């Protein structure tokens, strides 16, 4: 037979560090959110330029902002995300 008193005692007790260990530290998360903001800005700059009438061509879809600037911001944001994942916030320089 199983001892049910052991289950009741271990069920209510939690280890002191339970729930406080995150994969990343605060600095990592701040850099990650900055990267996400840059990626979102890139996608916002990429949007628009379309036409309501499919028979009408709108040359604004090929301007500098949508072809060069926005994809560059997205790639820079992805690079920042990789850096945020790999950085060690406790490393002394």
Domain assignment present for 76:
yes
The count of domains in the chain is 1
In the block, tokens 């990592």 appear at 28
Residue 27 sits in which domain range?
A: 22-86
Confidence of residue 55 (pLDDT cuts 50, 70, 90): confident
Domain assignment present for 1:
no
- What pLDDT score was predicted for residue 29? 95
Domain assignment present for 10:
no
Domain assignment present for 51:
yes
Higher pLDDT, 32 or 16: 32
Confidence of residue 12 (pLDDT cuts 50, 70, 90): low
Domain assignment present for 32:
yes
The candidate with the shortest Cα–Cα distance to 69, out of 93, 36, 47, is 47
- What pLDDT score was predicted for residue 42? 97
Contacts 24+ apart (CB under 8 A), 30-38: 31/80, 31/83, 31/84, 31/87, 32/81, 32/84, 32/85, 34/80, 34/84, 35/77, 35/78, 35/79, 35/80, 35/81, 35/83, 35/84, 36/77, 36/81, 37/77, 38/73, 38/74, 38/76, 38/77, 38/80
The candidate with the shortest Cα–Cα distance to 10, out of 2, 50, 40, 45, is 2
């Amino acid at each position: 037979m199983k001892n049910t008193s052991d289950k009741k005692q271990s069920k209510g007790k939690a280890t002191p560090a339970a729930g406080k260990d995150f994969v990343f530290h605060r600095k990592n998360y701040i850099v990650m959110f900055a990267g996400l903001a840059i990626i979102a800005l890139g996608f916002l700059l990429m949007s628009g330029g379309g036409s309501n009438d499919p028979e009408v061509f709108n040359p604004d879809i090929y301007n500098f902002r949508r072809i060069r600037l926005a994809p560059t911001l997205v790639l820079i944001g992805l690079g920042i995300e990789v850096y945020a994942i790999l950085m060690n916030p406790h490393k002394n320089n």
